[in-house]
């Protein structure tokens, strides 16, 4: 073992440094069919009103409000997609169906349920107001109005809006291409029986899921050996087609920990140790051609917590998300939290609603090898460094993963 020469830096400082060195990857135009989950790269402004024409909100009769209380001759029909092409004369009404164009001359619609029909004469109630029961042009959106701002994620409502405006494709942020590698001679492919001292490569699958969920396109490099030249070849080959390298393992100070020297030999290591628990050996480097590398610690929980703190916000910045961080909420601690003297701790908790607050319960042993502490966790509770710890009942900040 050798002592690490990298300065221990604050987790917040390291996170800011990572974002400073990460750039937006640019945009591409994508057909609506593939836009779900992508990030809008430019504001969308309505170029025409929505609805484009006065559109009936109900099935009924279109007429002049001035004819309230009268018996009117039914002169025709305006169905959705099949407008009545003449004007409505005084003393007449037009049968209209939901989505039908309000004809010229009419200024209101009376619901089917509110009229008496005999033959082609309809008796309409009194007290009608112009404008009732139809959507005026521009009622939902006026031309020039901003519909969606750049930086939002495109979900169901956003895509529906884009389609309603007649846009067949949208400018979206490019997805980061990530090369993902596990390292360690103890690792075997999942499904293969581990020999003595071997374990399945579980980080690959955990990180693959986390990366995809964060919007990345992932290329799996498999298991890198604890041998510098082979490792270097694997990484250099993969970098050609990647924006980002993510590795797990091989960043602590043991003699087999080869990632830091490898990254130093091809780029610049900016973060080599952070005041973070779990995740102290987290490593971040910039590489030639504007690429970046994240050397995540090998312990399964450490790799996923450092992913949340450092990698996820960076991937979001690359895609153009306006919001880089997960939401945080104040929660009441339901247990006595011990603190670490010199490191910010992210403790895994489940949340429950009690009265009007969220109360955090520990997921049990917070060992960085124990994935059970993260499975099903609703949040990461941030415990600042210190030797006092925080007592049950205090309110702390929680990074929300999902709400109960």
Residues engaged in binding Mg ion (CB under 5 A): 184, 249-250
Nearest approach, Cβ of 256 to Mg ion (angstroms)?
A: 6
Name the residue whose CB lies closest to Mg ion: 184
Please tell me whether residue 278 binds ligand AMP under the rule CB under 6 A: no
Nearest approach, Cβ of 303 to Mg ion (angstroms)?
A: 12
∠ CA 284-366-326, rounded to 5° = 55
- Find which of ligand AMP, Mg ion, none residue 202 binds, CB within 5 to 8 Å per kind: ligand AMP
Interactions with ligand AMP, residue window 300-329 (CB under 6 A)? 300
Nearer to ligand AMP, 187 or 216 (CB): 187
CA dist 76 and 88 (Å) reads 9
Nearer to ligand AMP, 105 or 194 (CB): 194
Nearest approach, Cβ of 257 to Mg ion (angstroms)?
A: 6
Residue 358 CB partners (closer than 8 Å, separation 6+): 329, 330, 331, 332, 351, 352, 398
Residue whose C-alpha is closest to residue 224's, from 260, 195, 181 = 181
Sign of the CA dihedral with 151 first, then 153, 159, and 161 last: negative
Roughly what angle, to the nearest 10 degrees, separates helices 11-20 and 312-319?
Answer: 20
Nearest approach, Cβ of 39 to Mg ion (angstroms)?
A: 35
C-alpha distances in Å from residue 281, one per residue of 11, 43, 55, 249, 270 = 11, 40, 62, 10, 12
- By the 10 Å C-beta count (0-12 exposed, 13-18 middle, 19+ buried), 40 is classed as buried
From residue 171 to residue 210, what is the string marking binding to ligand AMP with x (rule CB under 6 A)?
A: -----------x-x-xx-----------x-xxxx------
232: three-class secondary structure by DSSP:
helix
Nearer to Mg ion, 141 or 296 (CB): 296
Interactions with ligand AMP, residue window 216-255 (CB under 6 A)? 248-252, 254
CA dist 202 and 204 (Å) reads 5
Nearer to ligand AMP, 199 or 394 (CB): 199
- Find which of ligand AMP, Mg ion, none residue 251 binds, CB within 5 to 8 Å per kind: ligand AMP
| Contacts to ligand AMP by CB under 6 A | 182, 184, 186-187, 199, 201-204, 248-252, 254, 257, 297-300
């Amino acid at each position: 073992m050798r002592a690490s020469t990298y300065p221990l830096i604050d987790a917040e400082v390291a996170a800011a440094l990572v974002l400073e060195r990460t750039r937006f990857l640019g945009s591409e135009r994508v057909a609506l069919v593939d836009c779900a989950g992508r990030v809008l790269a430019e504001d969308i402004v309505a170029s025409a009103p929505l609805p484009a024409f006065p559109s009936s909100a109900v099935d009924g009769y279109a007429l002049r409000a001035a004819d309230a209380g009268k018996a009117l001759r039914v002169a025709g029909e305006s169905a959705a997609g099949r407008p009545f092409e003449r004007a409505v004369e005084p003393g007449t009404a037009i049968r209209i169906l939901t989505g039908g164009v309000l004809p010229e001359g009419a200024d209101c619609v009376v619901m089917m349920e509110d009229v008496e029909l005999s033959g082609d004469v309809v008796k309409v109630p009194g007290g009608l107001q112009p404008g009732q029961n139809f959507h005026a042009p521009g009622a939902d959106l006026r031309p020039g109005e901003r519909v969606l701002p750049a930086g939002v994620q495109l979900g169901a409502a956003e895509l529906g809006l884009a389609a309603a405006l007649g846009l067949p494709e949208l400018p979206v942020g490019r997805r980061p291409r990530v090369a993902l590698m596990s390292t360690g001679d103890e690792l075997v492919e999942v499904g293969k029986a581990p020999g003595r001292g071997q374990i399945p490569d579980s980080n690959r699958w955990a990180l693959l899921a986390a990366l995809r969920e964060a919007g990345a396109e992932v290329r799996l490099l498999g298991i890198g050996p604890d041998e510098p030249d082979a490792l270097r070849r694997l990484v250099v080959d993969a970098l050609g087609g990647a924006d980002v390298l993510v590795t797990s393992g091989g960043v602590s100070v043991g003699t087999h920990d080869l990632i830091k020297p490898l990254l130093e030999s091809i780029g610049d290591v900016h973060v080599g140790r952070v005041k973070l628990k779990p995740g102290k050996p987290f490593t971040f480097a910039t590489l030639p051609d504007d690429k970046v590398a994240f050397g995540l610690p090998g312990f399964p929980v450490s790799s996923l917590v450092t992913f949340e703190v450092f990698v996820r916000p960076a991937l979001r910045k690359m895609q153009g998300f306006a919001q880089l961080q997960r939401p945080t909420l104040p929660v009441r601690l339901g247990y006595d939290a011990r603190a670490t003297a010199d490191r910010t701790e992210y403790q895994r908790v489940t949340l429950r609603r009690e009265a009007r607050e969220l109360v955090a319960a520990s997921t049990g042993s917070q060992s960085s090898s124990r994935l059970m502490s993260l499975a099903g966790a609703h949040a990461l509770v941030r415990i600042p460094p210190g030797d006092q710890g925080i007592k049950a009942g205090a309110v702390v900040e929680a990074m929300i993963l999902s709400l109960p």
